[in-house]
Amino acid sequence: MEPVRLKLAGRIDSANAAATEKELLAQLEGHDGAPVTVDASGLAYISSAGLRVLLHLKRLHPKLTMTGVSSEIYEVLEMTGFTQLLSVEKAYPQISVDGCDIIGRGANGTIYRLDADTVVKVYRNADALDDIRNERDVATLALVLGIPTAISYDIVRVGGQYGSVFELLNARSFAEILAEEPEKTDWCLNEYVGLLKKIHSTTVPAGKLPSMKETVLSWVEFLAPRFPEIPVRKLRQLITDVPETDTLLHGDYHVKNVMEQAGEVLLIDMDTLAVGYPLFELGIMYSVYVGYTESNPAIVKDFLGIDHAASVSFWRRALAAYLGTEDEAVLKSVEDKARIIAYLRTIRRTIRHGAMDGSDGAEEIARWKGELLSLLETTDTLQIPV
């Protein structure tokens, strides 16, 4: 059944509620049970009498939704419990990011600096309200668990996309610091590893975050029909045998997602939070600093703002500091295990971005696949000394 769109404007109170309801019901004649969207962008005020009109409409049309609701009207609906009864979409302010510096890119969006005080994360998904609410929820969870982060305080529209606004007063990413003040590399490294250890020493209450193991297993299933020569059974077993833990993982931990603000270190881009074994985190880190750029080292400069040599050096020093060892054999063993996770992630992402359609992308994927096959021949466990 075709949806019906109604429009509310001005004030709805005891003086006009009956007439408003009669007019709306007339528009709904012949549309019994149809989904109804109420455009409230012109609604300036609603009283309890107006709320009863909405309640009547909801009873007649259970699939009733409201869009374009102002902050003031939304507050009334929220206080009276109407946001629990029907789907209500706020009217979000429109902003532009033209000319704004990009300070970070993640799996689900791009972060722009709006001014000295604020940044906005613009989500790639055009219908990202659920993603934004989820990221706000998991960021709040992380903050409660003791992980320093910023909480979104507003939702905006950026063209046809949604954005989430954060207050980050004069904050700089570690990527910016490394590029502009290389003499602070040691400080960045110590703080970066210290925060990573804090994350991985945090236990998350059961059921609060998704399992990274399940996500990585889904990568295996994605690749299985595309590359039947990959020993999927062994790969699946290696991942299945990884210990089950409630350890907090960031899921996209790199120097653009770690910020310094007035001497405090903050973690941003929290929508990838998960629980799982720390090797999964190390694998994703390897893909950012080394793996994804192995065939084209210039890419890391575009992404992180530092050159390839500095990126590789930072990864290797961070790994040594995280593991607490300079033993090359131990470091190589852990790195090789991390590479298995990294190549899985990178191949999947590259295919999903359509790279198989071009000769360059197909060549890169073939090389990563070759590395993965080689590693699987010599790897019997993904457990690491953590």
Domain boundaries 172-378, CATH class? alpha beta
Quote the pLDDT of residue 358.
Answer: 58
Hey, is 335 helix, strand or coil?
helix
pLDDT over threshold 70, residue 189: yes
Fold of 95-167: Phosphorylase Kinase; domain 1 (3.30.200)
Q: pLDDT averaged over the chain?
A: 92
Quote the pLDDT of residue 2.
Answer: 79
164-168, 308-312, 341-345: the lowest-pLDDT one: 164-168
pLDDT over threshold 70, residue 163: yes
How confident is the model over 295-310, as a mean pLDDT?
87
Quote the pLDDT of residue 345.
Answer: 94
Classify residue 305 by its DSSP letter: S
Phi/psi of residue 133, nearest 5 degrees: -65, -40
Going by pLDDT thresholds of 50, 70 and 90, the confidence category of residue 294 is confident
Sheet of 87-90: strand order equals 4-12, 36-46, 64-69, 87-90
Each residue of 267-281: pLDDT tens digit?
A: 998 999 999 999 999
Going by pLDDT thresholds of 50, 70 and 90, the confidence category of residue 372 is very high
pLDDT over threshold 80, residue 290: yes
Domain extent listing, the chain: 4-91, 95-167, 172-378
Instruction: Give the span between the Cα atoms of 368 and 366, in whole angstroms.
Output: 6
Each residue of 339-365: pLDDT tens digit?
A: 999 999 999 988 887 765 656 678 888
Contact 372, 340 (CB under 8 A): yes
Which residues, in sequence order, are CB contacts of 190 under 8 Å at separation 6+?
321
Structure tokens at 368: 């990563």
Same fold, 4-91 and 172-378: no
In CATH, the number for domain 4-91 is: 3.30.750.24
Each residue of 77-131: pLDDT tens digit?
A: 999 999 999 889 888 888 999 999 988 777 788 999 999 889 999 998 888 888 8
Structure tokens at 253: 């931990």
